[in-house]
Amino acid sequence: MTELSVHPAASKVSTHSGLIYVCKLVAAGFGVLLCLTTLKFFTEHKFTSSHSGFEGALAQPQLDLLLIGSSHTRKSYDVRAIEQATGDPSLFLVSYDGIDLTSISQMLDYMASRPGKCPRHVVVEAYGVLLGRKPDLQDSRFFIEAPPSMKPEILRSYVAGRPFGPAFLDAFDLIVNRGSDEILAFPLYAWAQKVDSYKGGRIGFNFAGMTPEQFHALKASYYGTSPNPDQLASLNHIMDLAASHHIELLFVDTPMPGPVSSNPVVQSLRKDFRNIATARGYPYIDGNEGFPVNDPELFSDSNHLSSKGRDEFTARIAVQLKAWLAGEPVGRPG
Amino acid sequence: MLFNSLQFLYFFIIVTTLYYALEWRWRWKMLLAASCVFYMAFIPAYIFILITTILIDYWMGMLIAESTGRKRKIYLQVSIVSTCLVLFIFKYCAFFGMTVRELQGLLGAAQTFPITHIILPIGLSFHTFQSLSYVIEVYRDKQKPERNLGIYSLYVMFYPQLVAGPIERPQNLLHQFREDHPFDLDNVATGLRMMLWGLFEKMVVADRSAQYVDKVYGSWTHQSGLALLAGTLLFAVQIYADFAGYSNIAIGCARVMGFRLMTNFNHPYFARSFSEFWKRWHISLSTWFRDYVYIPMGGNRVSRSRLYFNLFVTFAVSGLWHGANWTYVIWGSLNGVFLIAEHYLSRAGWRYPANFIGSLLRRFVVLLFICFAWVFFRAPSLHSALYILQRIATDTTLSRQSVAGAVSQFAGDISSVAICAVTVLLIVVMLAIEYGQEYIFHSAHQLYIASLKYQFASTVLLFQLIMLFGILRASAFIYFQF
């Protein structure tokens, strides 16, 4: 910025008046910010599309089948193909990057407590690696798109067990800063979501497969080697909720590339997840079983299916979902 | 301690409060101590390198002033060689080793030359140049030697400009440490506003652009021509907003305490020629090279071929100053070639049309070539730079698919649309304000200057923009690595 000269008359100010000026400036800055942030907190979920996300699921007049999970879920299901295969038009997919069982249980809690919003069938992503992670909020869109009454609970689980300083700064960042772009660019953003989404699923994007060199260089990454107690509690809470609200629950672990899927820690966490779910009598489908997990073309990175992989998996899972919706046993029943 | 961190905010408040609370005679001592704390926040042990440079140049400055004839030149040479040696050891040793190894490989010999990797002390290139500037000015009798070691140390270490400039001249800065700066609301308000504008440039424009640039240049082999072109244009914005932002924070920070540092950027992307661009970009470094490299080589009072040689060498060395990599040397050399071509065409009588279209065309051509050179500055290697340029030239299409693919690089999901739109909008806001300052709103600008109310309102608005649209997690400034 070009250095600004100042009006000569303004320079005859005492230190005391100067300090008052600076204090007023700081107070006005934070005062306006507080007003804007409060407004944002209570209205930002209105600036989201009814075509995707949690707000999109809530906007559905009737919800029979809900697919819920992280980016694995988003990139593994072709919602349109599942709709055609199952003949169920009242389905919706909700996905947020890195969303864990704690956040999923918060969403299901909210839906279950609202008349007419509770889905009859829920497919929960059973990504074992996230079972070993401390509850976290990787995708701030979950907070932004959540109704205001849900936000305190999301914040509480986000900052729980963390030192005050970093937790405060992260919460500040989340409440004040995140989502501002989506609000400012709302008409464009809503249009893009409408074009890009079909019942919460992504359309129109092509995720290329990997080269054999890239595929064989893949390494598994994980947060912990054993289930996190908070995530376990959330998993049990989801199953309790399903039981109390007569929700049909199905756990599905989507396919992972062979070099990652075969990692002992990943396998151990997957086994833990499956055992917990089936012990309570809930069906569990391991998407890796029978899937060509060693074909590089079917995966776009260490975690996600390519577009070709998604089509392959959708064709397989759609058959099982149709059977499950018809009340037939699928996967590994408990 | 980054300017855009909370740590620095606390530091700044404490130091400024102490500065005005202390008596005048204690202030420079407190500032020196604060500057040491500031520098040691990075790598504490490296302060000894800084102290070594300070002691050598302080001592040589005294010896130069006290001696006559050939001895003066010898002391100057000792100072330059020893200061540059420090720079060489810490910045260029590994680069030199790798270059020798490559030569050994080319000659078919075993690549046995040892390579030593040392962590570069932060801001080394800046404070060594500032230190050298003092010794040279003393040698030229344009500056009296500073006899107070503490004041001289503060000249080299003054924390607002210690790690990335502006590279000050002793004539501008040294005397200010001996002057009393009573609390002045104008200075405080102007300084705070400059700091806030700098933070806007850094946190809102540069860091948002960086998200895209880092993604695209970090996986350049997987990117389309359009994404690489967009990444290059955004890098041009990023490096300007990042460095101009840093400079504004530094100048504003000093201004709050009553110090006047030199202007470092003057809307360079509005330049209509390459020579004008370099009068507007990183002014403190451009003038340093002009005064201490280009003019001593003969400047422009030489034959045409020698003039072109001088220009080329100055810019190639300037490129090397930026970083120990051939990409920087190519970047500097390219800018030298652009200037030479401009000079040659101008002498050959080549002119743009003297109308609005001509003026626009001039700006566009300068921007185009400057962006071309930025590819070498940003790319990790020469090979990647050439690949990126080739990809931009052969694979840039404007189909719906390619635009969607390029936009999605912002965040990898549908939010990319919103992030892209807001980033472009904020860049336009920044450039529009700068354009307005330079060309349009002279009277409105005067009105703005005259009224504290307008200043108050604009400062509050700027703060909201930073908080709502800035990247709040502190990230390093690009020029800190130099």
- Tens of pLDDT along B348-377? 888 887 888 888 899 999 999 999 999 999
Q: Do A177 and B468 touch (CB under 8 A)?
A: yes
Gap from B266 CA to chain A (nearest CA, Å)? 7
Chain A contact for B149 (CB, 8 A cutoff): no
Give every CB contact of residue A14 below 8 A, 6+ residues apart in sequence: none
The predicted-structure confidence for A299-309, as pLDDT tens digits, reads as follows 998 889 999 99
CB A92 within 8 A of CB A60: yes
d(Cα A53, Cα A141) in Å, to the nearest integer? 8
For residue A71, give the chain B residue with the closest CA.
B413
Of the listed B181, B282, B322, B343, which one is catalytic? B322
Q: How many CA atoms lie within 13 A of B151 on its CB side?
A: 15
At residue B40, what is the residue type? M
d(Cα A207, Cα B173) in Å, to the nearest integer? 57
Gap from B151 CA to chain A (nearest CA, Å)? 26
Share of chain A above pLDDT 90, in %: 50
In the prediction, which pLDDT does B443 show? 63
Peptide bond just before B166 cis, omega within 30 deg? yes
Chain A contacts in chain B segment 25-84 (CB below 8 A): none
Gap from A15 CA to chain B (nearest CA, Å)? 6
Q: Is A124 helix (H, G, I), strand (E, B) or coil?
A: strand
In the prediction, which pLDDT does B222 show? 83
For residue A203, give the chain B residue with the closest CA.
B414
Stretch A107-131: mean pLDDT: 90
Q: Do B463 and A29 touch (CB under 8 A)?
A: yes
Chain A contact for B235 (CB, 8 A cutoff): no
d(Cα A285, Cα A123) in Å, to the nearest integer? 10
Six-digit token string for A240? 């309790």
Give every CB contact of residue B149 below 8 A, 6+ residues apart in sequence: B54, B58
In the prediction, which pLDDT does A5 show? 37
Q: Do A172 and B263 touch (CB under 8 A)?
A: no
At residue B277, what is the residue type? F
DSSP string, A144-205: HHS-GGGHHHHHHHHHTTS-HHHHHHHHHIIIIITTHHHHHTHHHHHHHHHHHEETTEE-S-
Chain A contact for B440 (CB, 8 A cutoff): no
In the prediction, which pLDDT does A19 show? 80
Q: How many CA atoms lie within 13 A of A308 on its CB side?
A: 12
d(Cα B460, Cα B482) in Å, to the nearest integer? 33
Please give the residue that has the higher pLDDT: either A106 or A89: A106
**Alpha-helical regions (H) of B323-441:** 326-347, 356-378, 382-395, 400-407, 415-435
d(Cα B252, Cα B198) in Å, to the nearest integer? 8
In the prediction, which pLDDT does B340 show? 94
All residues of chain B having their beta carbon less than 8 Å from the beta carbon of residue A186 are 418
Chain A contact for B275 (CB, 8 A cutoff): no
Q: Do B456 and A3 touch (CB under 8 A)?
A: no
In the prediction, which pLDDT does B281 show? 94
Q: Do A197 and B414 touch (CB under 8 A)?
A: yes
Query: Is B322 marked active-site?
Result: yes
d(Cα B379, Cα A302) in Å, to the nearest integer? 26
All residues of chain A having their beta carbon less than 8 Å from the beta carbon of residue B188 are 18, 22
The predicted-structure confidence for A186-218, as pLDDT tens digits, reads as follows 889 888 888 888 888 888 677 888 889 889 888
Facing residue for B418 by CB, picked from A36, A169, A188: A188
d(Cα B143, Cα A33) in Å, to the nearest integer? 49
Assess whether pLDDT exceeds 60 at residue A6. no
The predicted-structure confidence for B157-183, as pLDDT tens digits, reads as follows 999 998 887 999 999 999 999 888 888
Least confident of A11-20, A258-267, A318-327, B262-271: A11-20
In the prediction, which pLDDT does A11 show? 46
CB A140 within 8 A of CB B415: no
For residue A20, give the chain B residue with the closest CA.
B185
- Among A322, A265, A261, smallest CA distance to A292 is for A261
Assess whether pLDDT exceeds 70 at residue B61. yes
The predicted-structure confidence for B462-478, as pLDDT tens digits, reads as follows 999 999 999 987 676 66
d(Cα B380, Cα B386) in Å, to the nearest integer? 11
The predicted-structure confidence for B404-452, as pLDDT tens digits, reads as follows 888 888 887 788 899 999 999 999 999 988 888 777 666 666 666 667 7
In the prediction, which pLDDT does B293 show? 92
Six-digit token string for A126? 């059973």
Arithmetic mean of pLDDT over chain B: 88
Assess whether pLDDT exceeds 60 at residue B33. yes
For residue A11, give the chain B residue with the closest CA.
B186
The predicted-structure confidence for A212-256, as pLDDT tens digits, reads as follows 988 988 888 888 888 999 999 999 999 999 999 999 999 999 999
All residues of chain B having their beta carbon less than 8 Å from the beta carbon of residue A17 are 185
Six-digit token string for B395? 């694979």
In the prediction, which pLDDT does B446 show? 65
Q: Do B468 and A197 touch (CB under 8 A)?
A: no
For residue B196, give the chain A residue with the closest CA.
A1
Least confident of A166-170, A295-299, B31-35, B290-294: A166-170
Q: How many CA atoms lie within 13 A of A263 on its CB side?
A: 19
Q: In which element (H, E) is residue A252 found?
A: strand A248-253
Assess whether pLDDT exceeds 50 at residue B297. yes
Assess whether pLDDT exceeds 50 at residue A158. yes
Burial of A311 (0-12, 13-18, 19+ CB in 10 A): middle
Q: Do A4 and B194 touch (CB under 8 A)?
A: yes
Give every CB contact of residue B360 below 8 A, 6+ residues apart in sequence: none
Assess whether pLDDT exceeds 70 at residue A8. no
Assess whether pLDDT exceeds 80 at residue A142. yes
Q: Do A184 and B425 touch (CB under 8 A)?
A: yes
Chain A contact for B472 (CB, 8 A cutoff): yes
- Among B187, B111, B272, smallest CA distance to A3 is for B187
Chain A contacts in chain B segment 325-384 (CB below 8 A): none
Query: Which band of pLDDT confidence, cut at 50, 70 and 90, is reported for residue A22?
Result: confident
d(Cα A283, Cα B450) in Å, to the nearest integer? 73
In the prediction, which pLDDT does A1 show? 42
Least confident of A69-73, A202-206, B7-11: A202-206
- Among B396, B36, B366, smallest CA distance to B230 is for B396
For residue B456, give the chain A residue with the closest CA.
A25
d(Cα B207, Cα B203) in Å, to the nearest integer? 5
In the prediction, which pLDDT does B408 show? 86
Query: Which band of pLDDT confidence, cut at 50, 70 and 90, is reported for residue A148?
Result: very high
Give every CB contact of residue A286 below 8 A, 6+ residues apart in sequence: A253, A270, A274, A331, A332
Q: How many CB pairs under 8 A join A and B?
A: 129
Q: How many CB atoms lie within 10 A of CB A219?
A: 8
Stretch A173-195: mean pLDDT: 89
Q: Do B408 and A182 touch (CB under 8 A)?
A: no
Assess whether pLDDT exceeds 70 at residue A109. yes
Share of chain A above pLDDT 70, in %: 94
All residues of chain B having their beta carbon less than 8 Å from the beta carbon of residue A173 are 472-473
ipTM field: 0.81
CB B149 within 8 A of CB B74: no
In the prediction, which pLDDT does A2 show? 39
Q: Do A6 and B186 touch (CB under 8 A)?
A: yes
In the prediction, which pLDDT does B441 show? 62
Q: In which element (H, E) is residue B103 found?
A: helix B93-106
Q: Is B479 helix (H, G, I), strand (E, B) or coil?
A: helix
- What is the model's pTM? 0.86
Stretch A120-131: mean pLDDT: 92
Six-digit token string for B56? 């050598």
The predicted-structure confidence for B136-163, as pLDDT tens digits, reads as follows 999 999 989 999 999 999 999 999 998 8
